[in-house]
Amino acid sequence: MKIRVSADLCCGAQRCVAVAPDVFAIRDGFNALVGAAEDHVVPAPLEASAVRGARACPERAIQILDDDAG
């Protein structure tokens, strides 16, 4: 599974970090994926955490992608 954060949509509410700090972090007041450049491959043990973080986002700035999605 991959995830992507839209910088244009992120409002910095930090709800993703509150529920999934192992996947998300706040950098410069806005969301950043921990250790990610762009689309971030989520290790299998962290997939449920990533989904919870995405669902917590009030702006729906976090997309869950299939492994082969672009």
Q: Is 19 helix (H, G, I), strand (E, B) or coil?
A: helix
* pLDDT given for residue 20 in this prediction: 94
What are 2-22's pLDDT values in tens digits?
998 887 888 888 999 999 999
DSSP string, 25-47: EEETTEEEETT-SSSEEPPGGGH
Residue 35 within any structural domain of the chain: yes
Residue 60 within any structural domain of the chain: yes
Structure tokens at 16: 């993703």
Domain, as residue range, for 46: 2-65
- Give me the CATH number covering residue 6: 3.30.70.20
Residue 70 within any structural domain of the chain: no
What are 22-49's pLDDT values in tens digits?
988 887 777 767 655 567 889 999 999 9
Residue 9 within any structural domain of the chain: yes
Structure tokens at 64: 């869950």
pTM of the model: 0.81
Residue 28 within any structural domain of the chain: yes
Q: How far apart, in whole angstroms, are the C-alpha atoms of residue 38 and residue 18?
A: 21
Q: Are 38 and 4 in contact (CB under 8 A)?
A: yes
